[in-house]
Amino acid sequence: MSGEPGLRSSKDAWRRWIRDRRQPVTAASTAAVVAGIQAFIEALDAKSAAIAGRRVPPGANLILFYRAMANELSLDRLADAVGWQRFAVTRTPPHGPLTLHPAIGAMEQHRYGFPQPTADAFELQPRHISLALVPGVAFDRHGTRLGHGVGYFDELLARLPKDCPRVGVTCRHLVFDQLPSEPHDVPMTHLATEDDVIAIGPDGA
């Protein structure tokens, strides 16, 4: 995008600039991203099966993903294809950090309009997650994620296993050469766009 803020601009300045120019998510973009992530998951499952010497059972290798807000790329079709039992989602409690729960079960509406598990949902632990599919306002080619400014997701990502792949999910026009970052930011190891899932950043493999 032309006229983008400089690296010394604040994250809020970048958020405002991107939101003013953000393009709608199309069905074609969604289908391409979902296909790439599904292939990535299948490759991880095959690798796990080779290491274990047996087929990966249903429910193993639990995947953290998100229920999309209006301007985000939805991964519901991925869950339809892979199986909803493979996925975990977050809940925003009245106080404290995000909690993790199965993507199946009773849901209620989050204040931002997407479904989240109800207060009595079974709680998962971060150690149960083997892959994280992460939303964001934008990402850069070094793995920096620009979130919504609340800090919830960075705090959660910091609690996941160190070897858990962190895949930023976005459209290609929201990937920049470099975004401002802060010490608490948790970098992505991969990016998923219409073009594929690629390894990025120092931890990408």
Residue 193 lies in a domain: yes
Per-residue pLDDT of the chain (205 residues; tens, 9 = 90+): 557 888 788 999 999 999 888 889 999 999 999 999 999 999 998 888 787 666 665 556 799 999 998 889 999 999 999 999 999 999 998 888 999 999 999 999 988 889 999 999 999 999 999 999 999 999 999 999 998 877 788 999 999 999 999 999 999 999 999 999 888 889 999 999 999 999 996 655 4
Residue 122 lies in a domain: yes
Q: Are 57 and 144 in contact (CB under 8 A)?
A: no
Check residue 60 and give its pLDDT. 62
Check residue 58 and give its pLDDT. 53
CA distances from 173 to 2, 7, 110, 152, 195 (A): 12, 18, 27, 24, 11
Q: What is the rounded distance in angstroms from the CA atom of residue 146 to the CA atom of residue 179? A: 7
Q: Which domain holds residue 132?
A: 11-199
**For residue 79, what is the domain's CATH number?**
3.40.50.10420
Residue 2 lies in a domain: no
Residue 5 lies in a domain: no
pTM of the model: 0.91
Residue 187 lies in a domain: yes
Check residue 152 and give its pLDDT. 82
Residue 111 lies in a domain: yes
One-letter amino acid at 15 equals R
Residue 3 lies in a domain: no
Tally the domains of the chain.
1
Check residue 97 and give its pLDDT. 92
Residue 204 lies in a domain: no
Q: What is the rounded distance in angstroms from the CA atom of residue 152 to the CA atom of residue 98? A: 6
